[in-house]
Amino acid sequence: MPTYKYQLRGQGGGVSVGQIAAGSLAEASAMIRSKGGGSLLDISPAKSDEKSLLEKIRNFTIDFGPGPKDVFTFTNQLAVMIKAGIDVRGATGSIAEQVTNPKFKRILFAIRDDLESGKAFSEALAKYPKIFSPLYVNMVRASEMSGNFGHMLDRITAYLHQQIETRAMIIGAMVYPIIIAVMAIGTTIFLLTFVLPKFTTLFAGKEDLLPMPTTVLLAMSAFLRGFWYVVVAAVCAMVVGFWYFIRTPFGCTWWDMTKLRLPLLKRVFRALYITRGLQTMGEMVNAGVPMLETIQITADVSGNTFYKKMWMSVYKSVKGGKQIAPPLVRHGLLPTNVVQMISAGEESGKLAEVLQDVAEFYAQQLKNVIKAVTAMIEPLMIVLMGVLVGFIAMSIILPIFKMSQLVK
């Protein structure tokens, strides 16, 4: 039988700590309350230092936690059940029974147990920050205070859907160029390692007649066939080195700056950061979350070092009793018309509506930018692949023509 630890405040005001064995968290809470003599402050499963082999294997095999789609599905189902009149504890437990992800199932059951012990829903969610973001938790907390829980869940669902849709669009836009790039690299390797060596015997003894491109390609072909493992190791080292580099403070700053300067792609990244920031800020202002906390969370989810610095400067400005717009103008990362609309909304007291309208506009702009950039990248990649393959083909054919003319 599982053991639970609890904190109990006595009638004299003192706090005592103890443990109790019970079949469930609800049963343990009932047993403690039935004893009387104080109020239950906290109760949770007692952690055992020793785990069975089965528990260790189970914990090892469920490292993959729930993704954004799992959280979206849960929130959507919870909103429907709350509006149908089911209490949040019963709804959470019912959804948990249907969840297929083992880790998410256990988390939802733990949240239900926390609700049974008397904790607020936002407090139970806050224990899992990697799954339920600060934005999610704060919007739920604001709804608990205002009493519009079902409506707020609908807003959170719409926000999560928008984020998932945006992510899917960006990934979808990257798929085609990546496929073309892989095909170009694969074709080049095939030509250098399988096709070009067939002509080595034909060119043997005539190296002085070969043009420079052919000589270079022959050397590359020989190197790839003889030291392919060096090439593979070098590529892996570059990828891993770049991965770790962009996670250093300097590398992260450099990479964030590069994304804002890359031809074509900078339009996508700028639209993405603007949309993400304004959507987050608009949703939280509409939810009634305090402004300072709203700006802090907006900075955390911005996704770029420079946009985070911009929002943190706004945080300092608002904390000092100043307006939002001046720091935005100083950084120059938002279009002037957007800053002007935010300033007008702040002065008129309609900041939430303005942010929502601007966020919707830029969400549509992001879709248009992704389509436009994809439409430009696709032909560029095809042309690049054609030029690369054509260069290799001509480097092979030209020496043959040259030698045939000498024979004549």
Helix axes 265-287, 351-407, angle to 10 degrees: 160
**Tokens of residue 54, six digits:** 């089965």
SS3 138: helix
In the predicted structure, residue 236 carries a pLDDT above the cut 90? yes
**Average pLDDT of span 292-321:** 89
Query: What pLDDT digit, counting tens, does each position of 35-89 carry?
Result: 766 666 566 666 554 444 444 444 444 446 788 889 999 999 988 888 878 888 8
> Taking a C-beta distance cutoff of 8 angstroms, is the pair 302, 252 a contact?
no
- The CATH number for 67-162, chosen from 3.40.50.300, 3.20.20.60, 1.20.81.30, 3.40.50.720, is 1.20.81.30
**pLDDT value at position 46?**
67
d(CA 52, CA 38): 36
pLDDT band at 306 (very low <50, low <70, confident <90, very high): very high
Q: Degrees (nearest 5) of the Cα angle 48, 50, 53?
A: 125
In the predicted structure, residue 220 carries a pLDDT above the cut 60? yes
**pLDDT value at position 21?**
77
d(CA 389, CA 386): 5
In the predicted structure, residue 376 carries a pLDDT above the cut 70? yes
Name residue 230's amino acid.
V
Least Cα distance to 107 among 154, 41, 115, 27 occurs for: 115
d(CA 255, CA 252): 5
Q: CB neighbours of 336 closer than 8 A, spacing ≥ 6?
A: 329
Least Cα distance to 11 among 36, 50, 37, 42 occurs for: 37
Other beta carbons within 10 angstroms of residue 369's beta carbon come to 22
**Helix or strand holding residue 210 (H, E):** none
β-strand partners of 6 = 18, 43
> Taking a C-beta distance cutoff of 8 angstroms, is the pair 326, 346 a contact?
no
pTM of the model: 0.69
**pLDDT value at position 16?**
67
Least Cα distance to 71 among 206, 167, 191, 202 occurs for: 167
**Average pLDDT of span 195-204:** 76
Name residue 2's amino acid.
P
**Tokens of residue 14, six digits:** 């003192």
**Tokens of residue 194, six digits:** 């399988």
* Mean pLDDT over each residue of the chain, to the nearest integer: 81
pLDDT band at 238 (very low <50, low <70, confident <90, very high): very high
**Average pLDDT of span 158-180:** 83
